[in-house]
Amino acid sequence: MLMYEIDRNASEPVYIQIYDFIKEDIESGIIESGKKLPSKRSLAENLGVSVITVENAYAQLIAEGYIKALPKKGYYAERLPDMPVQKIKKNEISAEEYSSGNNKLSELFPFTAWAKLIREELTMKQTTLMKDPPAEGVYELRQAIADHLRSFRNMEVKPEQIIIGAGTEYLYILIRILLGDQSVIAVEEPGYSRIADIYGSLGMRCEWIPVQDDGIDVDALKNSNADVVHISPSHHFPTGVVTSVGKRYSLLGWAAEGRYIIEDDYDSEFRLSCRPIPPMFSIDVTDRVIYMNTFSKSLTPTMRISYMILPPPLLSRFRERMKSFSCPVSTFEQHTLAHFIEGGGFERHIRRLRRYCKSRRDYLMKLVSENELFRNADVSGSSAGMHCIVRFDTDLTDDELLTQVRNMELKADLLKDHYHFRPEHDLHTLVVYY
Amino acid sequence: MLMYEIDRNASEPVYIQIYDFIKEDIESGIIESGKKLPSKRSLAENLGVSVITVENAYAQLIAEGYIKALPKKGYYAERLPDMPVQKIKKNEISAEEYSSGNNKLSELFPFTAWAKLIREELTMKQTTLMKDPPAEGVYELRQAIADHLRSFRNMEVKPEQIIIGAGTEYLYILIRILLGDQSVIAVEEPGYSRIADIYGSLGMRCEWIPVQDDGIDVDALKNSNADVVHISPSHHFPTGVVTSVGKRYSLLGWAAEGRYIIEDDYDSEFRLSCRPIPPMFSIDVTDRVIYMNTFSKSLTPTMRISYMILPPPLLSRFRERMKSFSCPVSTFEQHTLAHFIEGGGFERHIRRLRRYCKSRRDYLMKLVSENELFRNADVSGSSAGMHCIVRFDTDLTDDELLTQVRNMELKADLLKDHYHFRPEHDLHTLVVYY
């Protein structure tokens, strides 16, 4: 069955989105020519849309010659006259393809498009490239990010609020400068250990707050000395927990008393199914949320481009304290990226990445369903990102478990290794990466 | 008279250097065809080399048909058969060219060469570009910088000691992390106000130490609470003072007792005449000097690439404290720059920039010698960089002086404005920028 992610907040009507997805899949060969498409009713059910919507999409595809309707038989993909070379892999991948996947994500980087864009910039925008941008970054890029967030994340952000940084660590440095060295920062337990490591290197004091099934423990947070908390409410690493709406409001309530929330939306582009939850930044009316994101996962970590969105009070503080600083990212790459986003290349690239991740997730799930070791295992957190959590029903020790799973050529590590205060008992739980 | 900067520490013999300079000037039209060259004796005197050396250079040029010797008349530039289009301007520039010079430096950026190199990298090194470099930066770039410093600055540095940063501010952040937040940093008075501003933003305490005719006041430094000093011994901004050898050793003595010297060599590539003084880093045997440089002036500030060289004890501290950090500069640009330096493009570019600065300096000096306002004025600090200091013999106030000089379409500001503790009386001294 075709699985597409419909964005109900997009400016494009849903039937156009479905039309676009199918058209692209036919052009790229994911839907082979001559193949039967699902019935209107079953696709509608699957995507959670009305039959009329699918009918409109199919009608448009018929009109443009992408599919044909055979009476009493259904809809079939047409043989396209100028079928391009099949570049994108089918959703199903082999074990060999899966285990060689480590390099694949980087191979997906759009080198050709990027080379073309950067050459254009170097030819056409020489004077602009030599101009010092403000400390916040190149305006065109901030504008492109604001537009992207509007259509992709349904966020209303002014380009003026966006600060470009050289990777997330640089943003942490800015936060340290903005909040001062007396701040105590709460981080998630378990979590990305690098976050606390970096704040620690910058001389900030950290407190570790447990993550529950619906997000960080707000009571523990209230009992701590923290005046700022760094969380990933959309998709927590490694547990995959999505912070509930109730908890989001409790957190905002906590922050309203002069504190701050850093909302780390690091893998929002990788949502594989279901509708994305709006970021906390969008429901915050008290100006206490700092939104943070990066192009490390959606493009490449080696280009070092990240950004954060500051609420107005911190924005004025930024302008005052950072007036002697320059934006640390090359104007060459800022302008090229702006161009890439504006021209639609970035969204196409994300769709490609997401399809790739989904195919790897599906392969993993198939493996899980067939393998004895995974019997009664509980898989969670697989609706987004590039990893999931598997809780095993087993008497094996964590180390034995890890060895067995790694022998299956899966990339995995122990959940307990992601704790700062590492539990002494086994959790029988692994983080498995697609 | 031809003025070339001979590098006695270069691997190339001096006569080859002279040969290269003259050949390049003939090819580019700076020395017009048919023009008489200086006599061997006078050129030798001027460059401070032996007559034999110039004779060898001229002999090579004759052998290759660049110049000819006319008996009893001297040496003349030949008419070249395939004279390339005259791209490089003659050393003499007009008033109009001078006053439109603000954009010129950026126009000199080697866009075509850069575009070619980056395309090569994007085509040939896709896997490499996607690899996370160590926190210190891409090894190839650090190797290229080490080679450049060896041939250009006579510095013996291991690539492992070099740390790549995103502009100098990023290096200041690293220094703050390496030295801890209790450090008190001494800065030069007068000096670049941004240096103290940035250290201040990072929460470091600054002390301002007067700069004397031979460098920073070491006695005042000893009486301060500073445990690290940030200086530019090769060419102080704005005074142009070069720190004397005696003072360099006093400073090293001060630092030997557990303190550090940050040697900011920001414009070492712009030495316009005389032999460059070896950096303090090279005479330091106690591992107390941190050397710092940037590509902001030699390429463009908008690309944000700088570097520092750490003595071994700080290098281990860097590896320990920065292990969670990534190098903030894009691998795309690090590899392209490495390629640019290795291929000789960077040295050619520097020669071009230097010629450009020299022509602007010469124009300024001519103006100074002809203008009544400058009568009895004392010009200093003009042997390097892109500015000089002019002390006027005048009854005009500083503001009147500035207005008059600016009316001559010169770019200038007041020396007293570069003080943190601004003197209340007039100094009758301007900083004039080429």
CATH number of the CATH domain containing A48: 1.10.10.10
B319 and B237, same structural domain?
A: yes
CATH number at residue B291: 3.40.640.10
The alpha-carbon gap from B348 to the nearest alpha carbon of chain A, in Å, equals 20
Asked if residue B302 is part of any domain, the answer here is yes
Torsion of CA A108, A113, A115, A121, to 10 degrees: -140
Contact at CB, A127 and B103, closer than 8 angstroms: yes
* In a shared domain, residues B313 and B395: no
Residue B157 in tokens? 């540095």
Q: Token pair for residue A381?
A: 């957190």
A109, A167, A332 ranked by CB distance to B130: nearest: A109
Looking at B313, B347, B381, the residue that finishes a domain is B347
What's the CA dihedral at A266, A270, A273, A279 to 10 degrees? 30
Question: Can you tell me the distance from the alpha carbon of B206 to that of B278, in angstroms, rounded to the nearest whole number?
Answer: 27
Give the sheet arrangement for strand A411-414, strand by strand: A378-380, A387-391, A429-433, A411-414
Q: What SS3 string covers chain B? A: CCCCCCCCCCCCCHHHHHHHHHHHHHHCCCCCCCCECCCHHHHHHHHCCCHHHHHHHHHHHHHCCCEEEECCCEEEECCCCCCCCCCCCCCCCCHHHHHCHHHHHHHCCCHHHHHHHHHHHHHHCHHHHCCCCCCCCCHHHHHHHHHHHHHHHCCCCCHHHEEEECHHHHHHHHHHHHHCCCCEEEEEECCCHHHHHHHHHCCCEEEEEEEECCEECHHHHHHCCCCEEEECCCCCCCCCCCCCHHHHHHHHHHHHCCCEEEEECCCHHHCCCCCCCCCHHHHCCCCCEEEEEECCCCCCHHHCCEEEECCHHHHHHHHHHCCCCCCCCCHHHHHHHHHHHHCCHHHHHHHHHHHHHHHHHHHHHHHHHHCHHHCCCEEECCCCCCEEEEECCCCCCHHHHHHHHHHCCCEEEEHHHHCCCCCCCCCCEEEEEC
Of B115, B122, B328, nearest to A328 by CB-CB distance is B328
Co-location of A64 and A175 in the same domain = no
Q: Is residue A6 part of a domain?
A: no
CA distance B196 to chain A (A): 10
Residue A4 domain-assigned (yes or no): no
Distance CA A250, CA A58 (A): 45
Q: What is the mean pLDDT of residues A172-187?
A: 93
Please choose, from the candidates A360, A321, A326, A332, the residue with its C-alpha nearest in 3D space to the C-alpha of residue A176: A321
A302/chain B closest Cα distance in angstroms:
6
What is the rounded CA–CA span in Å between residue B178 and residue A301? Answer: 24
B353 belongs to a structural domain:
no
Residues of A in contact with B194 (CB under 8 A): 324
pLDDT at A2: 67
Closest CA of chain A from B298, distance in Å: 13
Which pLDDT tens digit goes with each residue over A218-237? 999 999 999 999 999 998 99
Average pLDDT over residues B22-43: 82
DSSP A412: E
CA distance A131 to chain B (A): 7
Q: Give the per-residue pLDDT at A336.
A: 98
pTM of this prediction?
A: 0.79
pLDDT per residue as tens digits for the range A258-280: 999 999 998 888 776 555 678 99
Q: Do B310 and B389 belong to one domain?
A: no
Residue B207, domain member (yes or no) = yes
The rounded distance, in Å, linking the Cα atoms of B387 and B192 is: 13
pLDDT band at A422 (very low <50, low <70, confident <90, very high): very high
Instruction: Look at residue B359 and tell me if it is in a domain.
Output: no
Task: For CA atoms B109, B112, B116, B118, give the dihedral sign.
Answer: positive
Question: Alpha-carbon torsion A40, A44, A50, A56, what sign?
Answer: negative
A362 found inside a domain: no
Dist CA A207 CA A421 (whole Å): 11
Question: Which of A103, A129, A166 comes nearest B166 by C-beta?
Answer: A166
Q: What is the number of domains present in chain A?
A: 3
For the residues B232-252, what does the mean pLDDT come to?
Answer: 92
B374 and B341 co-located in one domain: no
Same domain, B307 and B162: yes
Interface predicted TM-score of the whole assembly (ipTM), two decimals: 0.78
The reply to whether B169 and B232 lie within a common domain is: yes
Q: How confident is residue A182, by pLDDT bands cut at 50, 70 and 90?
A: confident
Interface test with B, best of A108, A177, A298, A324 (most B CBs within 10 A): A324
Is A115's CB within 8 Å of B122's CB? Answer: yes
Please list every residue in chain A whose beta carbon sits closer than 8 Å to the beta carbon of residue B101. Answer: none
Asked if B65 and B160 sit in the same domain, the reply is no
pLDDT band at B3, cuts 50/70/90?
A: low
pLDDT for A78: 82
What CA–CA distances, in Å, run from A256 to A227, A245, A253?
A: 11, 16, 5
Q: Test B167 with A300 for CB contact under 8 angstroms.
A: no
Give the best residue of A130, A141, A182, A420 to mutate against chain B (max B CB count within 10 A). Answer: A130
B129 and B231 share one domain: yes
Give the tens place of pLDDT for each residue, A5-47: 787 777 778 888 888 888 877 877 778 788 888 888 888 887 8
Question: Which of A301, A319, A347 marks a domain boundary?
Answer: A347
The answer to whether residues B67 and B113 belong to one domain is no
User: Six-digit token pair at A273?
Assistant: 């199914």
The predicted pLDDT at position B94 comes to 64
- Which structural domain, as residue segments, surrounds residue B43? 14-77
Does A330 lie in the same domain as A188?
A: yes
Give the tens place of pLDDT for each residue, B270-319: 776 555 678 999 999 999 999 999 999 899 999 999 999 999 999 999 99
pLDDT tens-digit map of B163-203 = 999 999 999 999 999 998 789 999 999 999 999 999 998 88
pLDDT for the residue numbered B93: 63
Which residue of chain A comes nearest to B299, CA vs CA?
Answer: A130
Band (pLDDT 50/70/90 cuts) for residue A100 is low
Instruction: Please check whether residues B266 and B134 belong to one and the same domain.
Output: yes
Residue A359 lies in a domain: no
Chain B positions in Cβ-Cβ contact with residue A123 (cut-off 8 Å):
111, 115
